[in-house]
Amino acid sequence: MQLEAIYENGKLEFARPVHLKHGRIRLIVDIPDHEILHDDVQVQARRAPPIERPGAASAGSIRAEIDAILAPWRDRLAKLKPMSKEERRALFSEEWEERHRART
């Protein structure tokens, strides 16, 4: 729904009274370009962080940071030998007994 409103000193006032379900709602306001001081727009553009999109060049740098954090753990895990079927069964059995004892 489009409504006409007047902006005055930081407040929007609807041209006609409107009764809303909630006291606070998010709006999209369309302001003509000729009403905006260009200096303010440039200041806001400098403050705003760049928008990162999936697949952008910066996504690779994030992945590199994650890999650097995980590298020591990956090295430790690579040195461990896989558990045998019997070891997995024994571990499962121990865990099951611990949980079962806790319930009784």
Domain ranges of the chain: 5-47, 57-103
Output the CA torsion sign for 72, 78, 79, 81: positive
- pLDDT score at 104: 62
Q: What is the 8-class DSSP label of residue 15?
A: S
- pLDDT score at 93: 92
- pLDDT score at 53: 57
- pLDDT score at 89: 93
Could you tell me the pTM of the whole model? Answer: 0.32
> Mean pLDDT of residues grouped by 10 in the chain (104 residues)?
84 86 84 73 59 58 85 81 88 89 70
* Residue showing tokens 């997995």: 88
- pLDDT score at 26: 84
- pLDDT score at 86: 92
Judge contact between 11 and 21, C-beta under 8 A: no
